[in-house]
Structures are given as C-alpha cells and as structure tokens.
Amino acid sequence: MLDKRAEFVYVRLVSGARDDGKVEIPERFTFNGRTFSATELKLIQEVCRDFTTLGRTEISRTVCELLEWKRATGKLKNHECRLLLERLEERGWLKLPPVRVLGGRGRRRVELSEQTEPELELQGSAGSFRPLRLEVVDGGPEGQSRLWRELIERYHYLHCRVPVGASLRYIVRSERCPERVLACLLWTSAAWKMAPRDRWIGWNDQQRQRNLQFIVNQSRFLILPWIRLQGLASMILSLSARQLPQDWEQRYGYRPVLLETLVEAERFRGTCYRAANWIGLGRTQGRGRMDRHHALHGHAPKDIYVYPLRRDARRYLCEAVPRQRADARGCEEKQVSMNLLRCQPDAR
C-alpha cells in the first residue's frame, strides 16, 4: 500500500495515439515530491530491461545511483524508488523481475508476544513523573524496535504500517520508573497536499515541492491504555517539539521548521494539542490516502493541527532554499554510466 506522500501525478502526457499498441509515455511526472523527465524514465526502463538477473532491490538501488536520488544525508532513497518502479510497472511502462518469495504477501504481520501484555495501571499527575525521556528507536527486529512495533500493532487503532520516506520513532519513559513504557510516537514525512495547511503557510506549488521536507508529520501517538497520568500527552508534545528537530537533523541532515498532525474528528477532540499550543487549521476532506478518484469524500475527515518550531516558519517555508542536492547528471554522463554497467551485467 502506498503512503499518501508517495503520490503519482501526471504533469503532461504526450499527445497523439500510437499505432504499435505500446503504452504512451508521459513527458514528465511527479512521484514522492520529485518530478521525473521522459529522459529519466527511459533510463529507468533501460536499467529494468538490461538487468533482469538482478532483484528489484538491486535495480532500485542502481536507479537511485544513476539519478542521484538521495536524502540530504547522502543515503539513497531506495524504498521510495522501489515503490516508484512498482507503480511504473502497474502503468505498463516497464517490466520488473518477479518478486522473490521470502514470505507471505500482503501487509507485514507483527507477531505479538508476552512483553506487550497489559500491565498494572499507573495513575497520578504527569508532573510527578518528570523528567521524561524520549528514546529514539533504531531499526532492527530485536530490542526497542520490536517492542515499539508490537505496542503500536496491539494498542493503536491504525496499527503498525511501514512508512514511506523519512521517519523517526520514539519510546517514552520516565526516570521515576525507567523500566515501564508510557507512550510511543512515530514522526514521518509531511502530507503531500492539505488545502488548509497550504493556505495557512501561503506557499505556491513550486515552494511546496521545494520546502515540504521541512515539515514533519506525527502519524502515530499512543499513550498505553493503562497509563493514566493527567497532562502526560501535552507534556510529551512539548518535549517532542524541543528534541525532535535535533534528532531529525542528525539523522537526515536538515532541521524541520513545522510539525503537523491529523486527528480523526469522530474519535478524538485534539485537547492535548490545543493544551500544547498547537494551532488548529481546519478539517480535511476525508478522502483518505488511496482515494485518487474522490469516491470517499467526507468518509473520515480529520482535524489538522500544526506547531511552528520557529517564529518565522511560514516565511521560511515560502522563501527558504534548502540544501541543494547534487544536480542530476547530464544525459551524456548517464549514458556513460549505463555503458559501464552493461560491461559488468553481474555486478551488484
């Protein structure tokens, strides 16, 4: 399932019908905030055609390297590229090698264990449990990562999903009882488009595409059901606003200037966000992430809240120029790289 940030947008299609029955190729299209030209699409097609012995992961890494599709830290956007290749295959624009069967298909299942069974209730005031600790959860199947995934899967109504793009997970503990988990959070890349938010910022499409990376979305916030500490949620939000910018910059190489979240209006009132001085901007249209044909209008509307991390956040998002990644290579340099790869078809 594609995340709402991994949108596939046609910018302009080549006009005229083909007589050979082949699928028409667009002049350019946008995916996950990056616009690809027809030349780049042809390069992607060549890689998929000439390296059929490679797996999909190896092909996506090769495409990332040739297009220099990287994060600010220099790491390849391999996960996003894999989703792009699969979407292009769905459109009939290329052919990928078969998926190597390593397990069941469908949503990755999170196995639950005894470590996330309900615990004794913890009551009182959040202030009496200061200081709180936000512990960054690193990747991997064991330890904190497994505990985080189990807790979200078992106790969050949206369950555990693999996010698209940048993300940062936290487990919240108290110095008073460090062995107990109080809450779990997930911060991810921002929503691609939200009319109330975009009007509040005042940016145009070009500014949004360029600076969207400076917004971070809180997509999961779980206080465990047996934790009943008054004021805990707003305290965690305030602590997140202080700590997350540095953690995000350390991992991804740039510092966010705005936090956002979506609160399902039928389930929650957003009280903790207002208490933590987040700004309510209105409500989404409720079409959901996958409703590209507007069939579910009003189905699950959500309230939009934002929290500026600097006073001039709106001006910064409209005017700031982020760190520029290296320019895409010229067509001649790409062709040279392709020729070198063709000489070594078994290279990984």
pLDDT digits (tens, 9 = 90+) for 21-32: 555 667 788 887
Closest CA relative to residue 7, chosen from 212, 216, 159, 169: 212
Q: What is the pLDDT of residue 249?
A: 94
> pLDDT tens, 35-67?
888 888 888 888 888 877 778 888 888 888 888
Instruction: Indicate whether 346 pLDDT > 80.
Output: no
Judge contact between 317 and 258, C-beta under 8 A. yes
Structure tokens at 219: 């997509």
> pLDDT tens, 79-115?
888 888 888 888 888 888 887 655 444 456 788 889 9
CATH 3.40.50.300 fits 124-319, yes or no: no
Range 175-182 average pLDDT:
94
Highest mean pLDDT among 66-75, 89-98, 259-268, 278-287: 259-268
Domains of the chain, by residue range, sit at 8-100, 124-319
Range 315-328 average pLDDT:
64
**Which residues partner with 144 through β-bridges?**
none
Instruction: Indicate whether 286 pLDDT > 90.
Output: no
100 or 157, which is more confident? 157
275 vs 305: CA distance, rounded Å: 12
Q: Mean pLDDT check: name the lowest of 128-137, 154-163, 269-278, 332-341.
A: 332-341
Q: pTM for the whole thing? A: 0.68
Q: What is the pLDDT of residue 198?
A: 96
> Would strands 258-264 and 215-223 be described as parallel, antiparallel, or unpaired?
parallel
Q: What is the pLDDT of residue 284?
A: 87
